[in-house]
Structure 1
Amino acid sequence: MKAVLLAAGKGKRLRPATEARPKPLLPIAGSTLFEYNLSVISDFPNVYVVVSYGKELFQELADGYGFTPVDQGEPMGTGHAVLKLGEVTRDDLLLIYSDIYLPPGTREKILSYTDRYDHVVAVTPVDRPWEFGVVELEDGLLKRIVEKPPKGEEPSNLIIAGAFFLSQTIFDHVREVGPSPRGEIELTDALTRAAKEGERIGVVEISPWVDAGRPDDFLRAQKLLLDDVIEGKRSPPKGYRIEGDLLISGDVDLSNSEVSGPSALGECLLAKSKVGPYSYLEHHSEITHCVVSNSIIMRRSKLSFSSIESSLITDGSVIITSDLRRVVTAPSVRVEGCSLSEEKLWENKFCPT
C-alpha cells in the first residue's frame, strides 16, 4: 500500500492569502495543514504528494520530509490526480486531501476496515450537504455519491470527508469515467462506478471535520488543531514546545504582553500586546501595542496600535492604527488608520482621520 496526499489545488476561496503560498502550505497552529496531514502517513515507506500550483515549494520540502512529488500539470479533478498516480504506482492507496482537518484516529479507522471492503471512504455529517459530494448508502454500503445536489434533494447529510482506502481497481474506474458537468474527472464518479459494478465500498463516519477552504473554516481548523496538540492528541509541530496552553518556538519575550491559549507563537517580536486565544504569530512577525484574537499573523508582518480579530494577515503586511475584523490581506499590503470588516484587501489602504 502506498500513501498519498492531494495538494494540487489553488485555494481560490482563501485568496488573496494564497497569492503567497498554496492553501496546504499556509501557516496554521504552528505548522501547515500539509505537514499536519503528512504526519499521519509519514511512516509509510512510500509517500506521494500530487502537486500543481506552487509545486516548487513542495519540491523544496520533498527531501527533508521523504515524499515523492507527482506533478498533476493542469488540475482536472481528483480522479485526474489518481490517473497521474497510476503512472508511478498501481498499488492500493491510502489517499488523503491535504487541505482538510481530520480528527486524530481517522487513519486507524479507515485501515481497520480494509480486509472487509474493496474500498473504504471516510464520511462526515454536515448541516449544508448540498455544498459537497453527498453519500447515498444502501444496506450499510456506499451506493453512489452525488456532487453538490440541489438543496433539498441530497440523499443524506453525510459527505465525502477527503480520506480513502482505494484498492487497485480504482485506476481502471477513473480511466473509464468521463468528465463531470464541471469538466473534471472526479474520484467520486469512479467510486460510484465501482459500486455499480458490485464492489463493496465501506464507510467510516468521522467528526469533527473541517474543509478549510474559506477563511472562517481555516480558522476553525486552527482552533481544533491547537486544542488537539494542547490536549495531547497530536504531537507538537517540529520546533515547538508546549508551555501550559501555548505552543512556543524559540525564545519569545512575554514579559510585557498577555497571551491567552491555546495559541502558537513562532520566533516573533511581541511587545505591550494582548494575543489569543486561538491565534498564531508566525516566525519573524512583529506585534506591538495590539490586540489579536482568533487570527493568523504570517511571517514578516508588522502590526502596531491595532486590533485584529478572526483575520488572516498575509506575509509582509503592515497594519497601523487599524481595527480589522474577518479581513484577509494579500502579501505585503499596508493598512493604516482603517476600521474594516469582512473584506479582502488586495492593495494598500489608507483611511482618512
Structure 2
Amino acid sequence: MKAMILAAGQGKRMRPLTETTPKPLLKVAGKSLIEYQIEALVKAGFTELVINHAWLGEQIPAYLGNGEKYNCNIQYSAEPIDAYETAGGIIHAFKLLQDDTFIVINSDVWCDFDYQQLKQIKLGDKLAHLILVANPEHNPNGDFGLKHDLLNLNQDTKYTFAGIGLYHKDLFAGDHQMPLPLGPLLKQFIVAGKVSGQLHQGCWFDIGTPERLAQIEQLVANK
C-alpha cells in the first residue's frame, strides 16, 4: 500500500517563515517536518511514498531526493499553485498511487499515531477511514461525530480530523471541477454512511502557525 504526503499548500498562516521555504521543510530540532512523517511511515512499513508539491515546490524534491536516504522510494506529483486543493491533488496523483486503497497524511501534523494501524483496516463497503483527535484550541467545535466506528455530522460531541486517513479511490470517482477541497467530499459520503473512523488519544498537533512551530520545538527540547 502506498502513502501520500500532502505538501502543496502555501502555508500562509506560517508567514513570514514560508515566504522562502515551503512549510513541509520548516525544521524542528534540525529536521524538517516532512522528514518526521517520512520516518514514521517507513517505520510502519510504508516504503512507497508519493508527495505532492506546489508553493516553492521545487525545493522539496531537491531536499528529499528519491527517498534512498530514508530507505524508501519517493515519487513526486507537481501541481500549479492553488490549482487543485486537497481532493484535487489526490486525484492528480492517481497515476502514481495506482492501488485501489492508499493512505494520505498531512505533512504539517506532529503526532505519535502508529501508521501501521491503517494497514490493518478493512474498508469493506466503506470508502474512507479517518483518524480523529480531541479538539485543539484552534478548532474547539470539532469536525465530525463518531458513533459505533462510523462518522456522522449530527453528533453533539465532535472531534477534529487529524489529517490522517485511509481512502478508496472510488471516494474520488466522477467528474469534478477543480479546485476540489476534501471536506465537502467527505461530508457527502459521511451522510451516506460510507466513512468509518477511530479516535487517537495520543500526541497530536497541527503545526499551522509560527507559534505552534515554536511550541513543538520547545516540546522536543524538553524531552
TM-score (norm 2): 0.82
Provide the secondary structure at the position in 2 that maps to 1:3: strand
2:206 maps to what in 1?
A: 211
Distance 2:88 2:19 in 1: 24
Correspondence for 2:16: 16
Moved more, 37-46 or 94-103: 37-46
Contact 1:144 1:191 (8 Å CA) reproduced: no
Q: CA deviation at 1:11?
A: 1.3
Question: Is the CA contact 1:114–1:165 (under 8 Å) kept in the aligned structure 2?
Answer: no
Equivalences for residues 75-154 of structure 1 within 5 A: 75=82, 76-91=84-99, 92-105=101-114, 107-114=115-122, 118-128=127-137, 130=139, 134-144=143-153
1:156–1:129 Cα change, 3 Å:
farther
Find the aligned partners of 2:189 and 2:98 in 1 and give their Cα distance. Answer: 17
Contact between 1:93 and 1:167, CA under 8 Å: does it hold in 2? yes
TM-score (norm 1): 0.54
SS in 2 for 1:137: strand
Are 2:60 and 1:58 equivalent residues in the alignment?
Answer: yes
Which position in structure 1 is the counterpart of 2:215? 220
Q: Deviations over 1:22-64 (max 9, x none)?
A: 1110121220110000112234342100110121111212324
- 2:77 touches 2:93 (CA, 8 Å); kept in 1? yes
- Alpha-carbon distance between aligned partners in 2 of 1:161 and 1:64, rounded to the nearest angstrom: 25
Q: C-alpha distance in 2, partners of 1:131/1:82? A: 28
Aligned to 1:5: 5
Cα-to-partner distance string for 1:74-96 (whole Å, 9 max, x where unaligned): 33321111121224334211111
Contact 2:132 2:197 (C-alpha < 8 Å) held by counterparts: no
- The answer to whether the Cα contact below 8 Å between 2:49 and 2:75 also exists between their aligned partners in 1 is yes
- SS of 1:193 mapped into structure 2: helix
8 Å CA contact retained: 1:110, 1:122: no
Contact (CA 8 Å) 2:127, 2:171: kept in 1 or not? no
Aligned residues between the structures: 213
1:264-303 maps to which residues of 2 (within 5 A)? Answer: none
Aligned residues: CA RMSD: 2.7
- How far apart, CA to CA, are the structure 1 residues paired with 2:190 and 2:158? 19
Q: What percentage of residue pairs aligned between the two structures are identical?
A: 23
Secondary structure of the residue that 1:169 maps to in structure 2?
helix
Cα distance between partner residues in 2 of 1:132 and 1:90: 36
Deviation string, structure 1 residues 105-164 (Cα, Å, up to 9, x no partner): 2x133333335654211111124464786112344311249xxxxxxxx95341111110
The 2-side partners of 1:113 and 1:140 are apart by 12
Amino acid at match of 2:19: E
Structure 1 unaligned spans of 5+: 146-153, 227-261, 263-276, 279-353
Give the secondary-structure state (helix, strand or coil) at the position aligned to 2:66. Answer: helix
In 2, Cα distance between the equivalents of 1:209 and 1:131?
Answer: 15
**Matched residues in 2 for 1:102 and 1:130: separation?**
17
> For residue 46 of structure 2, what is the amino acid of its counterpart?
F
Q: 1:112 to 1:85 in 2, by over 3 A?
A: same
CA change 1:14–1:4 in 2 (3 A) is same
Larger of the two Rg values belongs to structure = 1
CA distance, structure 2, for counterparts of residue 199 and residue 59 of structure 1:
35
Change (3 A) 1:28 1:113: same
Distance 1:215 1:110 in 2: 30
Matched residue type, 1:212: I
Q: Which residue of 2 aligns with 1:161?
A: 162
Contact preservation (8 Å) 2:4, 2:105 = yes
For residues 141 and 129 of structure 1, the distance between their equivalents in structure 2, rounded to whole angstroms, comes to 24
